[in-house]
Amino acid sequence: MSEKVQITKENPFKILFVCLGNICRSPTAEGVFQHLVNERELQPYFYIDSAGTSAWHIGEPANSKSQQMANKHGVKLNSRARKFETADLEEFDLILAMDRENLQNIRQLDTQNRFSDKIKLMRDFDPQPGDDEVPDPYYGGMDGFQHVFDVVHRSCAALLDELEEKIES
Ligand code: 4NP
Residue from 49, 88, 93, 136 carrying the catalytic annotation: 136
Residue from 19, 88, 99, 126 carrying the catalytic annotation: 19
CA atoms within 13 Å, Cβ hemisphere of 98: 28
Q: What is the pTM of this model?
A: 0.98
Fold of 13-164: Rossmann fold (3.40.50)
Choosing from 17, 22, 24, 66 the residue with most ligand 1 atoms within 8 A of its CB, the one to mutate for a pocket test is 24
pLDDT in tens, 84-99: 999 999 999 999 999 9
What pLDDT is stored for residue 129 in this prediction? Answer: 85
